[in-house]
Amino acid sequence: MGYYSVALDMTGRLTVVIGGGIVAERKVEGLLEAGAAVTVISPCLTGQLARWVKEARISHVARNYAAGDLAGYELAFVATSDPRVNGAIFHEGRKRGLWVNTADDPAHCDFILPSVLRRGELTIAVSTGSPALSKAIREELENYFTSDYDALTKVVSTVRKELRQRSVVPSSQAWECALNGELRELIHRGELTRARTYLLDQLGGKPS
């Protein structure tokens, strides 16, 4: 595969989703989780998409795709069942220098989407070239990366901010030593305040 794995900051990024069915809904859900600004172009919407429109979480253009619809956007996600429409959107994207992802149509994709596991700020992406295999592997990883990892990432994020405020810069070796079994046990027991204090102490910060 000629793909290069990246983690793209989607906060506020102008994104268009063309299609209003279940596949489009899944695309929109992931984009909202990443903080994107989403517009859906489709004459019809699923119930969930309609609710997001009503809640002003997404914008909606109630018609089929038309040439020129990609103007002003940075990424496009296509979820239609019409190969001709898919091709037209892809070619418009190429002309505008805009990346396009077309569901189940790799010939009309500038990028593909991995199967994603999220635990708070932890994101694990699996890409194999086979969506079914990627999903199977991601489901296996769910059994290992439990909800403890959500708490762990929150504690680490809090401690990093506190250390920066105190101009304390621990070495990578210090971080590796601090993220040990004792910290993990505190996280597992739900003792997050003690976990924060322990981590600050290990990294040379002064708990407050």
Model pLDDT for residues 124-148, shown as the tens digit of each residue: 989 887 888 988 999 999 999 998 9
Q: What is this structure's pTM?
A: 0.76
CB atoms within 10 A of CB 8: 12
CB atoms within 10 A of CB 158: 15
Query: Is 152's pLDDT higher than 60?
Result: yes
Residue 21 half-sphere exposure toward CB, CA atoms < 13 A:
7
- The pLDDT-based confidence of 7 (bands split at 50, 70, 90) is confident
Phi, psi of 39, rounded to the nearest 5 degrees = -120, 130
Per-residue pLDDT tens over the stretch 28-41 = 999 999 999 999 99
Cα–Cα distance between 114 and 130 in angstroms, integer? 10
pLDDT at 3: 78
- The pLDDT-based confidence of 26 (bands split at 50, 70, 90) is very high
- Asked whether the beta carbons of 74 and 98 are under 8 A apart, the reply is yes
User: CATH homologous superfamily for 14-113?
Assistant: NAD(P)-binding Rossmann-like Domain (3.40.50.720)
Q: Where does residue 19 fall: left (phi above 0), alpha (psi -120 to 50 degrees), or beta otherwise?
A: left
Residue 6 corresponds to which amino acid?
V
